[in-house]
A and B are shown apart, each in its own frame.
Chain A
Amino acid sequence: MEKVLLKNIENPNSTDINEYKQAGGYKSLPKALALKPKEVIDDVKRAGLRGRGGAGFPVAMKWTFATADPKFPKYLLCNADEGEPGTFKDRPILEKNPHLLIEGMAISGYALGAEYGYIYLRGEYPAAKHILNRAISQAYEAGFLGDNIAGSGTRFHLAVHQGAGAYICGEETALIESLEGDKGQPRIKPPFPVNVGAFAKPTVVNNVETLSNLPYIIEIGGESYSKIGSPDCPGPKIYCVSGHVEKPGVYELPMGTSLRDIIYSHAGGIKGTRKLKAVIPGGISTPVLPPEKIDCPMDFVSMPKHGSMLGSGAVIVMDETVCLVKVCYRALRFFEHESCGKCTPCREGTGWLRKILGRIENGEGLEGDIDLLLAISSNMLGKTFCPLGDGAASVVQNFIKHFRPEFEEHIGARACTVR
């Protein structure tokens, strides 16, 4: 498959507008502007594009909700708050291919009738901030952003809004709160952002990778795009592989490539001669899988049938030297730290789970601790404002589901048994 999202990133000047144009960039924007906004949305619908942030929501449907709302102005927000541990798929687009994202946002803005866009960029990507700001200035100078984009009479203005170190701001309503200058605490839904979003106006929040697909969809047409990868959720997908593999990194592959192929054919298999012990397939919020369950197509529809989720496509590979109680503990330390504190099950639950996991790992686990972990988790699941609490609970449930003996051994031996 030819590279779409990571095209040209080996070019050391890939962030420059001239290089991007040389490689065929900014041709889709005029093409889209020659269509009616509704025709652009129809093409995205034919493409079958689903949001790449983790939920896999159909993009054309979200856009249609926003355009159906008569309130004005409308806002387009790019979620570049890439914070799901294990995930580094948006970073190469932001740092190496910023014009692809800008072109995608200009196309999306036109389709939505949104005249203002913001890229909500995580604070931990300072290099990307400079690169994006430079690329945005270049796009303004070249007339691809501003009051009359590509001579079409359409307005689209774009700015970077830098986050400040809060994982929760990747959740779209928390992101909006943060853009508006507030704590990043999720809002209750409904109303949904497509009706009452940023500054109480209809707002679409799409992920970096999602928006970066737009120029290609317009270039080849939704029909052709829909033939790439899985029929239910087509298109190219960036998988990012970390941990104990020979060749960690980002791999742009057809959506639905199997987890086994990603690990063994693309990332070079397990490092050295050790055995595979566990894989987290889509960032730490997604259910962990044991080695015998990795023959699954990595897409939004298939993964739930195989006991996990695609999430962000962040594959974390762990070999036999890894203590999974410790990994689970570290994950909960993360969730506790990042819980926004708004709702009780998450605020209290994440800390409680972390404490119990910590004592098990430190050889102080008590008889009944595993059942206590499961009881707390089930009291969190589905009872929180946003998916952060669900993610934390499901991490604990799935580590215990697949690796319960390791937890029991820790408690029995009153020590970590994997050192």
Chain B
Amino acid sequence: MFDEAAMKELREIREKYPSARAALLPALYVAQREFGWMSPEAYEAVSEMLGIPKAIARGVGTFYAMYKHRPEGRNIIQLCTNISCMILGAERLADFLKGRYGLEPGGTTPDGRFSLVIMECIGACGTAPAMLVNDDFYENLTEKYIEEILEKYR
């Protein structure tokens, strides 16, 4: 179940739309933040709050890449490897993350510090290669720069 603060937030979200169903995507984001990932309990809470069947909520949630269906590391590295990043060395950076941190695409470090998601285009093509760590953009990446950046995330 959501706590009172989350419930208040969800009621405010609900007011922005003409139907409860339209509040589903933002509600899933709130649930993911509150429960850590889209666990069965998270779906249960969303379903109850909005009055939407669990199967529907889960069907919609699993369509979208940004809802996580298993526990992730504390920090999520989202590395773009689409064409503009690829031709400027993104694959080398993916290899570096594997060699230096033991991070496989889709994997999490044993200490739970990082998860790595290989992204499609993140709209930073003019400053490629690029990645997001949690909500922060990092651009013009090199191996050395990645090491510096990741120091900030514990």
Contact = CB atoms under 8 A, between A and B. Distances in A.
A25 interface: no
Nearest to B137: A127
B146 interface: no
A96 B108 CA distance: 34
A334 B26 CA distance: 25
Which of A165, A166, A179, A240 has the most chain B CB within a 10 Å cutoff? A165
A322 interface: yes
B25 A86 contact: no
A183 B60 contact: yes
B6 interface: no
A163 B63 CA distance: 11
A300 interface: no
B22 interface: yes
A107 to B, nearest CB: 21
Given A127-B135, A327-B83, 7 more contacts: A88-B125, A124-B66, A165-B65, A166-B64, A180-B19, A242-B126, A340-B63
Which of A124, A241, A326 has the most chain B CB within a 10 Å cutoff? A124
Interface string B88-108: 100000000000000000000
Interface string A145-187: 0000000000000010111111100000000001111111000
Given A166-B63, A316-B84, A322-B87, A88 B124 contact: yes
A126 interface: yes
Interface in B10-25: 16, 18-19, 21-25
Contact of B88 (A167, A243, A330): A243
B120 A83 contact: yes
Given A162-B29, A165-B64, A242-B125, A337 B120 contact: yes
Contacts of A248: 125-128
B25 A334 contact: no
B59 A330 contact: no
A47 interface: no
B45 interface: no
Contact of B125 (A87, A127, A327, A338): A87
Contacts of B63: 166, 183-184, 340
22 contacts: A83-B120, A84-B121, A85-B120, A85-B125, A86-B84, A86-B125, A88-B123, A88-B125, A125-B123, A162-B26, A165-B65, A183-B60, A184-B64, A242-B125, A243-B83, A244-B87, A248-B127, A248-B128, A284-B83, A316-B83, A316-B84, A316-B125
